[in-house]
């Protein structure tokens, strides 16, 4: 026993030292590996940044000859777009207007619908239903845009022409009726609060009925006006706005649902425990808390709509003029993206320098628009985050006092 014990000890010591050196070596190796992987990842990451930079540089470089030759005034303020004519004109204002109009319309479709679906999925339906429905909604994003375009051209445009009034009225009903009910409820509530001596239930109900009747009357008038509308050409701004809106919905739903879920149980439970209803919890707690995420979702959706080409090229009519009156969504419009796609084939450096470089000038405008959009969303998201943090700190200080 005694003779064995010390040898055992030395073996143990040696192995310990060995192990230490071995682990040191291993650490060095892992450090090296880590550094090399870091370097590789840095190259990959910076290559995507470089790609963006290259796109900017290339597009600006190709656009400069146009501005040098034709100047800015006609391009930015003219509405005559005849790049292929013998005496070409490059007034692109109508194209900007068309793009803005279609994007705005798509946002008006996608933002409310997407937000409602996201709220519904995150807070109303059971979790198991959400697990099924959300992927299905996201599947909408997997449909190729040319399929949407084909649908818009072959199915939706003729439908708009033959049943335009009814469709418009039905579409308006989907938006106006729930909005009217909610607004009149809120309005009645607010009004009862404003009237100091009452505050009784009776006053509230009568006001609610009055408000509802008012909105019903207004809706009725609007419906009659809409039913009378005849859509001459089905390939118009409305068609494209609706289809683009549908295309943007999965983005809006997916991102905003994520941010709504991220608000967490504690805030919701706190709200419920204070006696808030589900509607109050949703509108006054969950949505404000997820504001920045929702904004990001909407901006992402908007950018999808602004950059879409195929659907617009197939179904917007591509008439390069500002609709009259300017809010008339039933007239064909032409967007920047569709123009670039449509003119590219014939516009060669060989055959016409301005006709070619004007497309890059258009691309610059589009790029700047999307860039500004992105900046605004980043800025506002940051601001929201800052304000939230500031408020939290302030309340904590208040408590400490």
Chain positions contacting another protein, by CB under 8 A:
32-33, 35-36, 39-40, 79-86, 94, 153-154, 157-158, 161, 232-235, 313-314, 317-321, 331-332, 334, 342-346, 348, 350-351
Minimum CB separation from another protein for residue 334, in Å? 8
Determine the 3-state secondary structure of 26 from DSSP.
helix
- State the Cα–Cα distance between residues 307 and 244, nearest whole angstrom: 10
For another protein, the closer of residues 85 and 374 by Cβ is 85
Q: For another protein, which is the closer residue by CB, 54 or 82?
A: 82
Burial class (CB in 10 A: 0-12, 13-18, 19+), 370: middle
Taking the complex as a whole, the smallest distance from the CB of residue 346 to another protein amounts, in Å, to 4
Cβ distance to another protein smaller for residue 43 or 76: 43
Cβ contacts of 242 within 8 Å, gap of 6 or more: 105, 106, 109, 156, 171
Query: In the chain, helix, strand, coil percent, each to 5?
Result: 80, 0, 15
Closest CA to 257 of 108, 373, 125, 123: 123
Shortest distance in whole angstroms from residue 342 CB to another protein: 5
- Listing DSSP states for 215-237 in one string gives HHHHHHHHHHHHHH---S-SSSH
Q: Please identify, using beta-carbon distances, which residue of 156 and 223 lies nearer to another protein.
A: 156
**Helix, strand, or coil here: 322?**
coil
What does DSSP say about strands 81-82 and 89-90: parallel, antiparallel, or unpaired? antiparallel
Shortest distance (Å) from residue 353 CB to another protein: 11
Question: CB-wise, 157 or 242, nearer to another protein?
Answer: 157
Q: How far is the CB of 161 from another protein (least distance, A)?
A: 6
Task: Rank residues 154 and 213 by Cβ distance to another protein and give the closer one.
Answer: 154
To another protein, the closest distance from the beta carbon of 90 in angstroms equals 13
Q: Residue 233's closest CA among 318, 106, 170, 110?
A: 318
């Amino acid at each position: 026993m005694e003779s064995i014990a010390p040898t055992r000890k030395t073996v143990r010591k040696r192995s310990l030292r060995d192990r230490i050196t071995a682990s040191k070596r291993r650490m060095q190796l892992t450090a090296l590996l880590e550094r090399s992987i870091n370097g590789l990842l840095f190259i990959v990451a910076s290559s995507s940044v470089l790609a963006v930079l290259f796109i900017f540089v290339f597009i600006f470089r190709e656009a400069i000859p146009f501005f040098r030759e034709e100047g800015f005034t006609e391009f930015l303020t003219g509405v005559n777009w005849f790049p292929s004519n013998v005496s070409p004109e490059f007034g692109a204002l109508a194209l900007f207007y068309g793009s803005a109009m279609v994007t705005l319309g798509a946002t008006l479709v996608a933002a409310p619908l997407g937000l409602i679906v996201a709220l519904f999925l995150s807070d109303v339906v059971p979790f198991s239903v959400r697990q099924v429905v959300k992927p299905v909604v996201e599947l909408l994003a997997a449909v190729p845009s040319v399929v949407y375009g084909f649908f818009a051209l072959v199915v939706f445009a003729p439908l708009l022409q033959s049943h335009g009034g009814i469709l418009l009225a039905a579409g308006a009903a989907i938006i106006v009726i729930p909005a009217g009910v909610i607004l009149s409820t809120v309005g009645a509530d607010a009004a009862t609060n404003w009237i100091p001596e009452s505050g009784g239930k009776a006053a509230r109900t009568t006001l609610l009925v009055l408000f509802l009747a008012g909105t019903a009357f207004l809706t009725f008038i609007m419906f009659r006006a809409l039913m009378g509308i005849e859509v001459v050409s089905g390939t118009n701004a409305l068609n494209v706005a609706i289809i683009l809106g549908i295309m943007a919905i999965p983005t809006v739903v997916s991102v905003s649902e994520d941010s709504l879920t991220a608000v967490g149980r504690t805030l919701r439970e706190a709200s419920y425990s204070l006696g808030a209803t589900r509607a109050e919890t949703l509108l006054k707690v969950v949505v404000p808390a997820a504001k920045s995420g929702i904004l990001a979702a909407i901006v992402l959706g908007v950018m999808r709509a602004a950059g879409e080409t195929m659907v617009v090229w197939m179904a917007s009519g591509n008439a390069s003029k500002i609709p009259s009156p300017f809010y008339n969504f039933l007239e064909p419009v032409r967007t920047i993206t569709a123009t670039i796609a449509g003119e590219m084939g014939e516009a060669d450096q060989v055959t016409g320098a301005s006709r070619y470089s004007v497309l890059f000038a258009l691309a610059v405008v589009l790029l700047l628009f999307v860039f500004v959009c992105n900046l605004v969303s980043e800025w506002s998201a940051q601001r929201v985050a800052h304000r939230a943090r500031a408020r939290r700190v302030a309340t904590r200080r208040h408590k400490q006092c």
